[in-house]
């Protein structure tokens, strides 16, 4: 690990992860945490509860982006 790698950055790049924290999902989408929570509340970005923790399935991110791209092409 070099000086630019933080534990969070490594977690974001870990291909074995199945669920992401909302903050990690937001970083992958290059949006803010608040915006990510708003997308989840609106039902636009899938999330699940694990105990009391909200998590975003890794595959929900490309699905969300695909829906955005499809909607923008249709507009």
Containing domain of residue 18, as a range?
A: 13-74
Six token digits for residue 60: 């929900």
Does residue 35 register a pLDDT over 60?
yes
Average confidence (pLDDT) over 54-65:
98
Q: Is residue 7 part of a domain?
A: no
Q: Is 23 within the bounds of a domain?
A: yes
Count the neighbouring beta carbons within 10 Å of the beta carbon of residue 30. Answer: 6
pTM: 0.81
Whole-number Å distance between alpha carbons of 62 and 75: 20
For 20, how many CA atoms within 13 A lie in the half-sphere containing its CB? 27
Q: Is the pLDDT reported for residue 49 higher than 70?
A: yes
Top-confidence residue, 5 or 15: 15
| pLDDT greater than 60 at residue 4 | no
- What's the pLDDT score for residue 42? 98
Specify if 5 maps to a domain.
Answer: no
């Amino acid at each position: 690990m070099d000086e630019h790698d933080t534990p969070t950055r490594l977690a974001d790049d870990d291909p074995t992860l199945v669920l992401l924290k909302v903050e990690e999902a937001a970083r992958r989408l290059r949006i803010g945490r608040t915006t990510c929570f708003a997308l989840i509340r609106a039902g636009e970005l899938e999330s699940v509860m694990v105990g009391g923790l909200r998590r975003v399935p890794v595959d929900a991110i490309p699905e969300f982006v695909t829906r955005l791209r499809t909607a923008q092409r249709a507009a």
